């Protein structure tokens, strides 16, 4: 098992196939946006559904902070498609069959068996800025991510607010 990534570490690059069959590469997305990468245990379970819907409901806020949300679990592409449709999710869910990406990030398992729920905020330089690990507080992942993105974008906002003065 790889060591858990911490704030300040470089995020490992990875490739996974998106539901539409195209290739998702973390490094490609980081050229344009900050990334909110969240690992979750399973599609269509109560906590995971609440978390995904909260990311959906706040999606416009993430876009304002130049961030893209990406969810990862070891569920199949077909399961992800159903989950996305059921909840009208505007962001991509990636299938990490075999948990290779989960291992690269060092996402721990609860009780040694249940895949963990961990959110990483990765800035455009590829640096992990924040890690939140909590199985029991799925909605805090979203709130905390927004706060960190506000900090990352803080200087830009201050510059913009002075532009009109």
Under DSSP, is residue 135 helix (H, G, I), strand (E, B) or coil? coil
Can you state the angle between helices 77-87 and 46-57, rounded to 10 degrees? 60
Examine residue 51 and state whether it is found in any structural domain, yes or no: yes
**83 vs 11: CA distance, rounded Å:** 27
Examine residue 6 and state whether it is found in any structural domain, yes or no: no
For residue 101, list its beta bridge partners: none
| Entry pTM | 0.90
Which percentage of the chain shows pLDDT scores above 90?
78
- Count CB-CB contacts under 10 A for residue 64: 14
Examine residue 4 and state whether it is found in any structural domain, yes or no: no
Examine residue 93 and state whether it is found in any structural domain, yes or no: yes
How many structural domains is the chain composed of? Answer: 1
**148 vs 125: CA distance, rounded Å:** 15
Examine residue 1 and state whether it is found in any structural domain, yes or no: no
What tens digit of pLDDT does each residue of 55-100 get?
Answer: 999 999 999 999 999 999 999 999 999 999 999 999 999 999 999 9
Residue numbers annotated as active site = 48
Mean confidence (pLDDT) of the chain: 90
- Count CB-CB contacts under 10 A for residue 138: 24
Examine residue 64 and state whether it is found in any structural domain, yes or no: yes
CATH code of the domain containing 134: 3.40.30.10
Identify which has the larger pLDDT, 113 or 28.
28
Q: What is the largest CA-CA distance in the chain?
A: 56
What range does the domain containing 29 cover? 15-163
Whether 3 shows a pLDDT value over 80: the answer reads no
Whether 156 shows a pLDDT value over 70: the answer reads no
**Per-residue DSSP letters for 33-58?**
-EEEEEE-S-TTSHHHHHHHHHHHHT
Examine residue 31 and state whether it is found in any structural domain, yes or no: yes
Examine residue 94 and state whether it is found in any structural domain, yes or no: yes
Tell me which of 17-21, 67-71, 113-117, 161-165 is least confident: 161-165
Give start and end residues of each alpha helix (H) in the chain.
26-30, 46-57, 59-64, 77-87, 100-105, 138-163
- For residue 76, the surrounding DSSP H or E stretch is none
């Amino acid at each position: 098992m790889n060591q858990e990534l911490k704030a300040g570490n470089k995020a490992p690059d990875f490739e996974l196939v998106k539901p539409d069959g195209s290739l998702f590469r973390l490094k490609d997305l980081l050229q344009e946006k900050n990334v909110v990468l969240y690992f979750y245990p399973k599609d269509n379970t109560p906590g995971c559904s609440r978390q995904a819907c909260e990311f959906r409901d706040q999606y416009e806020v993430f876009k304002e902070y130049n961030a893209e949300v990406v969810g990862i679990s070891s569920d199949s592409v077909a399961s992800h498609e159903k989950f996305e449709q059921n909840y009208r999710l505007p962001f991509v869910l990636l299938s990490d069959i075999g948990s290779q990406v989960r291992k690269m990030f060092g996402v721990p398992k609860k009780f040694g068996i249940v895949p963990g729920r961990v959110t990483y905020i990765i800035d455009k330089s590829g640096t992990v800025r924040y890690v939140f690990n909590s199985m029991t507080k799925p909605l805090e992942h979203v709130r905390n991510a927004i706060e960190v993105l506000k900090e990352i974008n803080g200087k830009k906002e201050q510059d913009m607010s002075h532009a009109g003065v």
